[in-house]
A and B are shown apart, each in its own frame.
Chain A
Amino acid sequence: MRAYIAARLATAVLVVLGVSIVSFCLTFLSGDPAEIMLPPGATAEHIAKFRAEWGYDDPLLVQYGRFLRRAVQGDFGVSLRHGQSSLPLIAARLPATLQLTVTAMLLAIVLAVPLGVLAATHRGGPLDLLAMGVALLGQSIPNFWLAIMMILLFAVSWGLLPTSGRGGLAHVVMPAVAIAINLMALLTRLVRTTMIEVLAEDYVRTGRGKGLREVIVLTRHALPNALIPLVTVVGLQFGYILGGAVVIETIFTWPGVGLFTIQAILNRDYPVVQASVFILATGVVLINLIVDLLYVWLDPRIRLG
């Protein structure tokens, strides 16, 4: 087990390093920050001076060497736009993103599990049809569209929720729903499929045969086994959720990592983009590791090594 974790951590470091290289090259290819940073009247001479001051006129390899040397010390450089160290700037926005993504995940799970179970136990019936209809709808609705529709309906027309920003609990409702909807749909279908499989297992038949109540069969015997794949999928979807959060945070001006990163990309604030990619990649890798470990704990038949 310990060897497994060590190996996984080593891979994680390699993955994060790889992602950093890719993000470095992509930002390098996407153009120069000079033109966005400088006032419109800047001439070629001023642009050249700016590039020299910030080291953007060095060859790619020299820039990458400098980037790597600093990055291993956790220093991604000073934000061109904010004039502050970029890693703390990103870290300060993590709680907002976590609040949003964790709420969205919980919301998706809380809705998906009962819907999936209902669909599986009423397979082919109207309840199954309804649950699958909801899932199909949830999977097909573009979340940015849903976000704007919710704003118009719940905030502008009915005045029930605030239009955007972060504040009390009311602020988190619409952005969380917008992020949760796709995941909820995916999980509903997954729970339904695994539940149908599990319900056909011998131990379920045995349980029913020895006269257990259906509720006990479902909640004690079937559901825990059906939920094991859910853990994997939720873990794997974390990266996807963060991606969705970028869009949704922008629409709702939710002050998280996603919004900050989008602004940094638009403003070619490379140190911030690189710090953000580093933190997000680390987060995704860690979550995946945790999921794998959870898996062993949930299903002792699985051996790691």
Chain B
Amino acid sequence: MSNNHPQLRAIITRRALPRVLLLFTVALGLAVAPVPDPAAAAPTGEVTIGLAAEPNTFDPHLTVGRNTQIFIVNVYDGLTARDAKGNLVPALATSWRRLNPTTWQFTLRKGVRFHNGDAFDADAVKFTLDRAINPETKATVSSELSTIARTEIVDSFTVNVITKSPDFLLPVRLGELYGLMLSPKHTNAVGKEGIATRPNGTGPFKLVAWAKNERLVLEANEQYWRGAPKVKKITVRPILEDAARIAALQAGEVDLISPIPHVRIADLKRNDKLVIKTVAAPRIFHVTIDVRKPPFDNVKVRQALNHAVDANAIVKSLYFGYGTRLATVVDKGALGYDPTIQPYPFDPNRAKALLAEAGFPNGFETEFDSFTGSIADHAKPAEAIAGYLQKIGLKLKHNVFEFGAFGPRRVANQTAPLFIYSIGNAYLEPSWVIRWLTQGGLGMHYKNAKLDEMLTRIEATDDPKKRAEQYSDVQKLLRAEAPFIFLFQADAVFGMSTRIDYTPRPDETQWLYPLGLKK
């Protein structure tokens, strides 16, 4: 697999370096606001995009699902943003630093205007964050902003965000994920229903038309503070069916589509009028093990399960090789991913030996839950995993649920001792994923005092370089403890015509600002 590749380590180091340097610069408040370059070419041309889903709303606090969050950033800006490689970079804030464990100070960019001409300043930040945490807003994203206690205006271009407990992730939260900034005047004027379809952001594009299920039209914001985008008009067509979406690209009706089923990649790559690009998506597949229940309280049993499953074969056969075998639950785009930590090798004999050592030479009876109908396909990998586990002697009862029926079971902690799941690491930060996976609820019960201590130390470290180093030990501990059957992450697949130039981002964001037409 790719993480055995000798070049990868070098790539990771090269990737980490600019990220670290940049953040340091930012933290020191040295970032200089980029000024729109008047000599830059004016936006030209039109591009049509076919997406499986359109946003549910342009109200950043009522977004449902990643599909909305990864799209509406084209109209808004957060205080921070990510660059093409996933590094956190300044956006509406030029710098940020922690004044004390629970106070983050953001210095705001001057001279930024909303699409309607309103000026962006500290009032807008306070208004937006107050709205997000106001119970009356019924924000769907409130869980992600629940650490915020209040926002204080220091001066017109400086705000302090005070958190209830130390939150090292706040600058990421207040970026493209959950920190898209609203204009107070406009938001009050159009009301809650109005903002859903009439957004007024500071982003690179303005929403000019939206007929749900039909088309959504974006127009370049020529006054954008980063400089005008390259394309003047972008039409987004929601095309639900994979086959119809691919057909639209093949027929030349659209220039860019996503997603594409992995099974179609080889066939589409043969078409010289198309370009297919893949990027590792930060969705981490794993099997949760209920470590409280014997025999899963025995680490040897958990290690045996990890040796039993051939995740490489699953990536090869179900994803046609477009995926990455993971050694733990840290994905390869995340901060501090350590490619030197080797995944458990597929070794059924070793698995059987470990089971025998644990006192189960003939295996044991247990249950395994999986489901259909969620955002990603879990049913097919689960079928393969069940087969592998039976081969080492487990008498497995494999329950397949509809996702809507499985969800409440998980919320009520009524899952089988083993269940497949996946988590999208939108924060690109391992601690966020691991905290969630060890929360002690929703069917996840692994606890480890040492791990907790390591994470607490990491979370107190603002310098990403120092955080990254510490994650190696976390990954080693997780691998040895095997509280999950570690699986893989799959690639996201994009198809485009040869007339456009577009590089998909590793955090799934459909950032259309750099999209251009080839000369």
Contacts and interface: CB of A to CB of B under 8 A. Distances in A.
A46 B146 contact: yes
Contacts of A46: 142-143, 146
A206 interface: no
Interface string A111-134: 000000000000000000000000
Interface in B399-453: 402-405, 407-408, 410-411, 423-424, 426, 432, 436, 439, 441-442
Interface of A: 30-32, 34-44, 46-47, 49-50, 53, 80-84, 93, 148, 151-152, 155-156, 159, 162-166, 250-253, 255, 259-260, 263, 266-268
A232 to B, nearest CB: 33
12 contacts: A30-B404, A31-B407, A35-B411, A38-B143, A41-B432, A41-B436, A83-B57, A83-B192, A159-B251, A163-B244, A163-B253, A251-B243
Contacts of A81: 56-57, 64
A77 to B, nearest CB: 13
Interface stretch (B181-189, B232-240, B379-387, B457-465): B232-240
Given A32-B404, A44-B442, A39 B213 contact: no
A164 B193 contact: no
B444 to A, nearest CB: 10
A151 B407 CA distance: 36
Given A34-B407, A165-B237, 8 more contacts: A41-B144, A42-B143, A83-B59, A84-B196, A151-B243, A250-B240, A252-B241, A267-B56
Contacts of A41: 143-144, 432, 436
Contacts of A260: 212-213
Contacts of B244: 148, 151, 163-164, 251-253
A171 to B, nearest CB: 11
Contacts of B436: 40-41, 43
Given A39-B144, A162-B253, A30 B405 contact: yes
A140 B114 CA distance: 57
Chain A's interface: helix, strand, loop or mixed, by majority? Answer: loop
B390 to A, nearest CB: 29
A164 B251 CA distance: 11
Nearest to A255: B213
B391 interface: no
B27 interface: no
B218 interface: no
Interface in B112-151: 138, 140-144, 146
B64 A267 contact: yes
Contacts of A44: 411, 441-442
B16 to A, nearest CB: 24
Given A81-B64, A159-B251, A250-B241, A31 B405 contact: yes
B248 interface: yes
Contacts of A251: 240-241, 243-244
Interface of B: 56-57, 59, 62, 64-65, 138, 140-144, 146, 192-193, 196, 211-215, 237-241, 243-244, 247-248, 250-253, 373, 402-405, 407-408, 410-411, 423-424, 426, 432, 436, 439, 441-442
B240 A83 contact: no
Nearest to A161: B251
Contacts of B213: 93, 253, 255, 259-260, 263
Contacts, number: 136
Contacts of B432: 41
Nearest to B405: A31
Contacts of A263: 213, 240
Nearest to B68: A81
Nearest to A89: B212
What 8 pairs between A and B have smallest CB-CB spacing? A31-B404, A255-B213, A46-B143, A35-B407, A44-B441, A42-B143, A163-B247, A81-B56
A156 B250 contact: yes
A261 to B, nearest CB: 11
Contact of B65 (A36, A159, A166): A36
B64 A36 contact: yes
A37 B64 contact: yes
Contacts of A166: 214
Contacts of A53: 138
A30 B401 CA distance: 11
Nearest to A267: B64
A272 B493 CA distance: 31
Contacts of A80: 64
A37 B68 CA distance: 11
A53 B144 CA distance: 17
Contacts of B57: 81-83
A134 to B, nearest CB: 26
B241 A43 contact: no
A260 B56 CA distance: 12
Nearest to A31: B404
Contacts of B252: 159
Contacts of B65: 36, 267
Most buried by B among A37, A163, A166, A260: A163
A40 B424 contact: yes
Nearest to B178: A39
B145 to A, nearest CB: 10
Contacts of A266: 373
Contacts of A252: 241, 244
Contact of B248 (A37, A42, A164, A250): A164
Contacts of B64: 36-37, 80-81, 267
A159 B250 CA distance: 10
A267 to B, nearest CB: 7
Contacts of B424: 40
B251 A163 contact: yes
B489 to A, nearest CB: 14
A43 B439 contact: yes
A80 B57 CA distance: 11
A162 B62 CA distance: 34
A47 B146 CA distance: 13
Contacts of A32: 404, 407-408, 411
Given A32-B407, A83-B192, A152 B138 contact: no
Contacts of B56: 81-82, 267
A166 B248 CA distance: 13
B242 to A, nearest CB: 10
A259 B214 CA distance: 11
B437 to A, nearest CB: 11
B214 A255 contact: yes
Contacts of B193: 83-84
Contact of A163 (B141, B248, B410, B442): B248
Contacts of A49: 142
A156 B404 CA distance: 36
A40 B426 contact: yes
